[in-house]
Amino acid sequence: MASASKSFSSPVEPAKPPAQLRKPARTEVIAIGISTGGPDALRVVFSQIDADLKVPILVVQHMPAGFTNEFAKSLDRICPLDVKEAEDGDSVLPGRILIAQGNKHLEVERKGLNYSVRLSDNPLVSGHRPSADVLFASVAMNYQNHALGVIMTGMGRDGAQHLGTIYKEGGMTLGQDEASAVVYGMPRVAYELGHVMEQVSLQKMARRICDVAKTPR
């Protein structure tokens, strides 16, 4: 993949990408970190996602406690896949999208060949709970080169560091581009750190996620 779109312009050139421990393999999970501007952006992505996508999706959207259940239900109404607010112990299943609860970290736990999610009240990471960095680190540890990490519109730098961990473990990474991001903070930092393999516009994000996830490797 190209390291960045040729049409993209940034005052800062990205750092040299980290060395990958192994080559990317078949995508078995998609992890998305998103914040300011995220609800509308996720509505665009999930309304356009392929109905036959068989890869589970885990999402950290910065949102207060008490709002994520209704938000997940609103996404479920427009998405061809099943969308629900994550509950502790939920299975990570093909065709299922789990949205992190407000004020709860979301991590993956592996037992044999099966994966489930764990919620926790652990301290804030990168200023947030849930934190995209926590999700990305957990996904990188459990899925290694079978993960696709996506960082989208949002203020600050949450997710930028451990998107790089997904990259190092051999996973694939995408970042939303500056032109389509409400706040080009989180994806900018990830890009400048060299952790983004490819920058993608919001309108093309669903298509690119599906293409990457479905590509045999």
- What pLDDT is attached to residue 9? 46
18 within some domain: no
17 within some domain: no
pLDDT along the chain (217 residues), means of 10: 42 84 97 98 98 98 96 98 98 98 97 95 97 98 98 98 98 98 98 97 98 96
Given the residues 62, 105, 146, 162, the one annotated as active site: 62
Nearest to 207 by CA among 41, 11, 46, 22: 46
Query: What's the sign of the alpha-carbon dihedral 179, 2, 151, 11?
Result: negative
Given the residues 90, 133, 158, 177, the one annotated as active site: 158
- What pLDDT is attached to residue 13? 82
When divided into structural domains, the chain yields a total of: 1
pTM higher than 0.85:
yes
Full domain range(s) for residue 186: 31-214
Whether 62 is catalytic: yes
Strand, coil or helix: what is 78? helix
158 within some domain: yes
Spatial distance between the Cα atoms of 99 and 87, rounded to a whole number of angstroms:
9
58 within some domain: yes
Whether 126 is catalytic: no
125 within some domain: yes
155 within some domain: yes
Whether 162 is catalytic: no
38 within some domain: yes
Q: What is the dihedral of CA 121, 126, 132, 137, to 10 degrees?
A: -90
23 within some domain: no
Read off the CATH number of the domain in which 110 is found. Answer: 3.40.50.180
Spatial distance between the Cα atoms of 26 and 67, rounded to a whole number of angstroms:
34
- What pLDDT is attached to residue 7? 39
